[in-house]
């Protein structure tokens, strides 16, 4: 079962590096100049400079060549995935498409597997998600992720697992993708707490109440509670709310401290917070933390006002 990774960001590159232990991998990037650099240096100096590309990782800018593999890992920013799927739907038909992005599409309100199903109904849609940093995967540090698909995916699980990358199967792709998307919003809020100097106790409280928000919306949309309590939900929440390796956490930290953040860095939680606020309102789900993150990200409210608004909410049972 040959594999191609579409998207040569840090995470896509890390997946190509580790999956090369199981056989040849194609790594696709849309930028031909970037591909030429990687082919010459055997590294992705733009996104993951610490990792050397194994010999059996071929790098290409030709989408026709990359999509010959039956299994395609879509490792591109969430807000670009819908356009990519629509543009290349014909050549993706019948493939196994594994989303490796976390978020909710602003235009449609769909998650990754929803976008795949809409654009490529003949493809098999799956999602690979959970607590993971690209650098850890590329270094071969132990990592466990969720592979979720509505169909049997034992063969896919075996192909995408390595001695240091352990995958657990799930038949709840909706829950898996919602956990991965929603935790980014809470990670921004956790960063704000630390950046504003509100302390670790406040962060722990925010993570706990944030998980309650995640669960409320996910269950309303049809996800399973055990999925949210697993790697793709609670596990990923813990990682991204407690480590500066998380871009969402770092963005929130800068926001809380009143500092500028690199505008070229993709922060999926910003778009997700906006999409979630709209979705929660439509579904009648109370999500005060996500709503505050959306307002903070758009500079419609100050950090102190956001904290006061959350702390002054009516007292209630847990």
Query: Which run of H or of E encompasses 216?
Result: helix 200-220
User: Binding site residues for NAD(+), as ranges?
Assistant: 7-12, 134, 247
Chain centroid, CA 167 distance in Å: 16
Q: What contacts 280, CB < 8 A, 6 or more positions away?
A: 217, 286, 287, 290, 291
183, 274, 282, 316: the catalytic one is: 183
CA distance 44 to 52: 8
- Strand spans (E) along the chain: 3-6, 25-28, 43-44, 48-52, 57-60, 71-74, 96-99, 124-129, 143-149, 165-170
User: Binding site residues, as ranges?
Assistant: 7-12, 30, 102, 130, 132, 134, 183, 236, 246-248, 268
Which phi and psi (to 5°) does residue 19 adopt?
-70, -20
User: Binding site residues for substrate, as ranges?
Assistant: 102, 247-248
By the 10 Å C-beta count (0-12 exposed, 13-18 middle, 19+ buried), 90 is classed as exposed
Residue 274: active-site member: no
Question: Annotated catalytic sites, by residue?
Answer: 183
């Amino acid at each position: 079962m040959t594999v191609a990774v579409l998207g040569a960001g840090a995470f896509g590159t890390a997946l190509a590096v580790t999956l090369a232990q199981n056989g040849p991998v194609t790594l696709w990037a849309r930028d031909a100049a970037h591909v030429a650099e990687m082919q010459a240096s055997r590294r992705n100096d733009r996104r993951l400079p610490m990792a050397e590309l194994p010999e059996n990782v071929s790098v290409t800018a030709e989408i026709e060549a990359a999509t010959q593999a039956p299994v395609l890992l879509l490792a591109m920013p969430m807000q670009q995935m819908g356009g990519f799927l629509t543009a290349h739907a014909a050549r993706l038909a019948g493939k196994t498409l594994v989303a490796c992005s976390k978020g909710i599409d602003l235009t449609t309100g769909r998650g990754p597997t929803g976008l795949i199903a809409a654009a490529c109904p003949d493809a098999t849609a799956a999602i690979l998600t959970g607590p993971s940093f690209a650098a850890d995967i590329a270094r071969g540090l132990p990592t466990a992720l969720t592979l979720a698909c509505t169909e049997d995916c034992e063969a896919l699980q075996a192909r995408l697992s390595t001695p240091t990358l352990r995958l657990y199967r799930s038949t709840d792709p909706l829950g898996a993708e919602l956990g991965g998307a929603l935790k980014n919003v809470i990670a921004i809020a956790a960063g704000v707490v630390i950046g504003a100097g509100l302390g670790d106790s406040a962060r722990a409280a925010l993570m706990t109440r944030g998980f309650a928000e995640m669960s409320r919306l996910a269950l309303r949309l049809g996800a399973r509670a055990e999925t949210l309590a697993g790697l793709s939900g609670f596990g990923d929440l813990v990682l991204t709310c407690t480590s500066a390796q998380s871009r969402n956490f770092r963005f929130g930290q800068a926001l809380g401290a009143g500092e500028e953040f690199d505008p070229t860095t993709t922060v999926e939680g910003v778009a997700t917070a906006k999409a979630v606020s709209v979705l929660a309102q439509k579904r009648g789900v109370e999500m005060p933390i996500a709503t505050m993150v959306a307002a903070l990200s758009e500079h419609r409210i100050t950090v102190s006002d956001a904290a006061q608004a959350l702390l002054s909410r009516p007292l209630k049972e847990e």
